[in-house]
Amino acid sequence: MVARTTIGEFQSMIRSRAATKLDGWLEATKNSLVGSFARLDKNIVAVCNAILSPWPNVQAEGQIKHLKLIKRQMYGRAKLDVLQARLIGVT
């Protein structure tokens, strides 16, 4: 029940773009079930910027997914130069 509440608070913090609440949320979740998720000490600046940014990262995630798909299809068949040629379209 506590984990569900803390996750709901995190979602509302993201939706309302309230990065100032992040520090309090991290303190509250240290000893809960989502404590491993809340270990953002090294990435706290990136998380704050992600909360405040109006731009989604969907485009970057789509490109990464596409690259991984091609790598899986070519697994064991080609070296890096052939993978690069397939991605860029150079023959």
Each residue's pLDDT tens digit, 24-50: 888 888 888 888 877 777 788 888 888
Residue 64 to residue 52: CA distance in whole angstroms: 23
Q: Which runs of consecutive H residues, i.e. helices, occur in the chain?
A: 2-16, 22-29, 44-52, 58-73, 80-88
Query: Does 44 share its domain with 67?
Result: no
Two tokens at 7? 């996750």
Query: Do 28 and 64 reside in the same domain of the chain?
Result: no
Whether the per-residue pLDDT at 78 is higher than 60: the answer is yes
**Total number of domains constituting the chain:** 2
pLDDT for residue 15 is more than 80:
yes
pTM of the predicted structure, to 2 decimals: 0.54
Q: Are both 48 and 65 inside the same structural domain?
A: no
Domain shared by 44 and 62, yes or no: no
Retrieve residue 55's tokens. Answer: 């731009």
Cα distance between residue 51 and residue 49, in whole Å: 5
pLDDT at 91: 46
- Residue 10 shares a structural domain with residue 26: yes
One domain for residues 68 and 42? no
The tokens describing 58, both together, are 């969907």
Share of the chain above pLDDT 70, in %: 93
User: How many angstroms separate the CA atoms of 66 and 48, rounded?
Assistant: 27
- Residue 15's domain comprises 2-52
Average pLDDT, the chain: 80
